[in-house]
Chain A
Amino acid sequence: MSVVEQSISSEALEGTRLDRVGPRAFALSLGTAIIAFALALLLGWRQNDGMQQFMFGYYMAWIFFFCIAAGSLYFLLLHHAFRAMWSVVVRRLAEAMAANLVLMAVLLIPILGGMHLLFSWTSASFMHTDKLLVRKLSFLNADFFTIRCIIYFVVLGGMAVFLRKRSNAQDETGSLRPLQAMHRMSRWSLIVAFWVINFVGVDFIMAIDPKWFSYVAPIYFFTMVMVSVYAALPLFASWLQTNGILQKQITKEHYHDLGKWLLAWTLFWGYIAFCQYVLIWYANMPEETGFYQRRIMGPWGVLAAVLLAVHLIIPGFGLMSRHAKRHRGVLTFWCGWILMACYLDVFWLIAPQQYINTPLGRTAGVMPTDPYHFISAAANKLLWLPLRPVAIEIDLLCLLGMGGLFLASALFMLRGRALLPVKDPRLAESLAFENY
């Protein structure tokens, strides 16, 4: 690889550090996180359900932010494997979010501790009610689950830390060697990370309903991961720009390309969601249809319809135009919208389960025959009531708290560093990038 000496004027590197914004935003988001978690814990304790409601809220928030972190890692791997040029200017932001996988690993500990509140497969008496479930015990047991979690985070977190370290080294020395190392590592990591994320999907989404079988669920989770990052990355960049950082470096051309990816993954999400649904609909086997029966009929069906609209149809049309993707404000709006839809997706997948195995621990092993036993027929008639028993404020507080920690950690990762990989040989090209 030949070294092309590039000249980037010092003017082009103006406003590429967090400076004063960093510590203030860090303190603010950390403070928000502490208050939100304290409130969520208090409200969760007052539910008097052995903290189950809190654990579900925490779990959903954790999945949502794991998606963003893992997606950022995958974005980086794609960037390095294909030696992409256009995305050099947002590389460092993705590095910070990918390094948050370390944070997500720490935040996983409460989930491992409260496993029995989340997963019905932790109850041996429940698992022995069904021959199918007994055969799954060799995979779905607390020890193996913990081991798998460790493997996932050693692999994914290791990749993220490696990319961050190499990237730092390049900033200091300006040598091409770290870039080559990242390229070599990304080629095989693309495949490994893909499989690891798929397995996370099996463990954290599919296993929430231990009876369920779906070949598509892991790739569905992978799609959630990819949609999240292409929504979170422009949002993060846009937030920094509002605070006077990277204002000249990230242009509408970069937003345009991020927007194209966002649209593509949003449509792919719809495609995969439909694939999964239609296969199960056609085959019509009880061990598969139960999952959907509980999620598309009755009160949760309203949420399913809303999800279809807000995650696919509305943003699909909203992002279709080139002008929408090239306008920072409009794109930012759709990024926020889609992130909200992503959380709704997690909520729709996870939250119903809480009421299907309720009350876990006390009557473990009994699958209620009526999946909507938790709600009266009269309440079904009102749209807002079905969601009421979920104690949604705890979920939202957990989301806020986790978001605060996520942002604080990302800002911590970016402290004292240039927000651009200043010695990347393709930086000049990326700064001048234009869609023709």
Chain B
Amino acid sequence: MSRDAATIHPGVVAEPQLYGLLAEFSGPQELLDAAAKVRAAGYSDWDCHSPFPVHGLDKAMGVKPTILPWLVLGGGVSGIVGALALAAFCNGFDYPLIFSGKPYWGMPPHVFIAFPAMILLGAVTSVFGFMALAGLPRFYHPLFSSKRFQKVTDDGFFISISAQDPRFSVRWTGEMLRGIGATAIEEIKD
């Protein structure tokens, strides 16, 4: 008798669904060529996986520039505005401080507050913005179920195409991948 979760708890654990196809390529150059072809075939929900950064891969895949810089700009600007507003309210209005004949609302000392606040909020936005855009933290990914995929940290070059992609079909996508030089193709279940 099978002992996997779905038979032990029928109806509780979902049937494994198809996540997508994983194709292995023999080297970085093959991966680059294949990426350009997958892109040309019109797929949108797919990714490349390699043990090291392959120069030119972003261009071959047609990865769009990230919006992260704009988020960081927003974070930095709100840091400046927030810090200046706080300092203006505290020292200029709520509790005016007499300090060596300086004006209550003097810009120079408040720059010291605004500047680190800008850096702090900019840095925090860039870290958490990156995590949010990348879908992190994520402790599990369907691709991890593939034994073959473990090679990706060492010498494996892969392309995965999600079943969610509108152009996806097990048969045609598989044939396309084989046609562009995949050495092995695997169906990944989630």
Is A bound to B? yes
With A274-B111, A277-B108, A278-B108: A284-B100 Cβ-Cβ less than 8 Å: yes
Q: Give B116 Cβ to nearest chain A Cβ, in Å.
A: 13
A278 and B111 within 8 A (CB): yes
The complex places the Cα of A274 from the Cα of B108 at a distance, in Å, of 8
| Contacting pair A281 B108 (CB below 8 A) | yes
Q: Does B101 contact A (CB under 8 A)?
A: yes
B69 / chain A contacts, CB cutoff of 8 Å: 321
| B58-96 contacts to A (CB < 8 Å) | 69, 73
In the bound assembly, the distance between CA atoms of A278 and B102 in angstroms comes to 12
Q: Is B55 an interface residue (CB 8 A)?
A: yes
- Mark each residue of chain A from 297 to 341: 1 if its CB lies under 8 Å from any CB of chain B, else 0: 000000000000000000000001100000000000000000000
| Residues of chain A from 262 to 298 with CB closer than 8 A to chain B in the complex | 274, 277-278, 281-282, 284
Q: Which residue in A274, A284, A436 is a CB contact (below 8 Å) of B101?
A: A284
Considering residues B73, B108, B111, which has the most beta carbons from chain A within 10 angstroms of its beta carbon? B108
Instruction: Determine whether the beta carbon of B55 is less than 8 Å from that of A436.
Output: yes
* Nearest neighbor of A317 in chain B, beta-carbon distance: B73
Q: Which residues of B contact A434 (CB under 8 A)?
A: 55
Q: Which residues of A contact B109 (CB under 8 A)?
A: 278, 282
CB contacts (< 8 Å) of A282 on chain B: these are: 108-109
Complex Cα spacing A320 to B55, Å: 24
> How many residues belonging to A are interface residues under a CB distance threshold of 8 Å?
10
The interface bits of chain B over 108-142 (1 if a CB of A lies within 8 angstroms of the residue's CB, else 0) are 11011000000000000000000000000000000
A239 to chain B, nearest CB (A): 30
Look across to chain A and name the residue whose beta carbon is closest to the beta carbon of B101: A284
Interface size on B, residues (CB 8 A): 11
**Considering only CB atoms, which chain B residue lies closest to A323 in the complex?**
B65
- Residues of B close to A277: CB separation below 8 A: 108
Q: Tell me, in angstroms, the Cα distance from A281 to B103 when the chains sit together.
A: 11
Complex CA gap A278/B100 in Å reads: 14
Give chain A interface residues in 416-436, CB to chain B under 8 Å.
Answer: 434, 436
Q: Report how far A320 CA is from B53 CA in the complex, Å.
A: 26
Within the complex, the shortest CB–CB distance from B118 to chain A, in Å, comes to 12
* CA gap between A278 and B106 in the complex, in Å: 11
Complex CA gap A284/B101 in Å reads: 10
The docked-state distance in angstroms from the alpha carbon of A436 to that of B109 is 39
Q: With the chains together, A291 CA to B108 CA distance in Å?
A: 17
Closest CB in chain A relative to B134 CB, distance in Å: 19
Report A-chain residues with C-beta under 8 Å of the C-beta of B53. Answer: 436
Residues of A within 8 A of B111 (CB): 274, 278
Residues of B within 8 A of A274 (CB): 108, 111
**Chain B, residue nearest A274 (CB):** B111
Identity of the chain B residue whose Cβ is nearest the Cβ of A434 in the assembled complex:
B55
Q: Which residue of A lies closest to B58 (CB)?
A: A436
Return A15 CB to nearest CB of chain B, in Å.
27
Q: How far is the CB of A337 from chain B (nearest CB, A)?
A: 21
Q: Nearest CB to that of A278 among chain B residues?
A: B108
A392 and B106 CA atoms in complex are apart in Å by 33
List A contacts of B106 (CB < 8 A).
Answer: 281
A282 to B101, CA, bound (A): 10
Minimum CB–CB distance from B100 to chain A (whole Å) comes to 7
Distance of A320 Cα from B69 Cα, bound (Å):
10
Bound together, the chains give a CA A374 to CA B152 distance in angstroms of 75
Chain A residues with Cβ below 8 Å from B112 are 278
Interface residues of A in 166-203 (CB under 8 A from B): none
B119 CB to nearest chain A CB (Å): 12
Smallest CB separation, B158 vs chain A (Å): 21
Q: Give min CB distance, A407 to chain B, whole Å.
A: 37
- Inter-chain contacts of A436 with B (CB < 8 A): 53, 55
Complex CA–CA separation, A316 to B126 (angstroms): 19
Q: Nearest Cβ distance between residue A134 and chain B, in whole angstroms? A: 30
Please indicate the chain B residues that have their CB under 8 angstroms from the CB of A281 in the complex: 106, 108
4 A-B pairs with least C-beta separation: A278-B108, A281-B108, A436-B55, A274-B111
List 15 other contacts, CB 8 Å, given A278-B108, A278-B112: A274-B108, A274-B111, A277-B108, A278-B109, A278-B111, A281-B106, A281-B108, A282-B108, A282-B109, A284-B100, A284-B101, A320-B73, A321-B69, A434-B55, A436-B53
User: What are 18 inter-chain pairs, A to B, with CB distance below 8 A?
Assistant: A274-B108, A274-B111, A277-B108, A278-B108, A278-B109, A278-B111, A278-B112, A281-B106, A281-B108, A282-B108, A282-B109, A284-B100, A284-B101, A320-B73, A321-B69, A434-B55, A436-B53, A436-B55
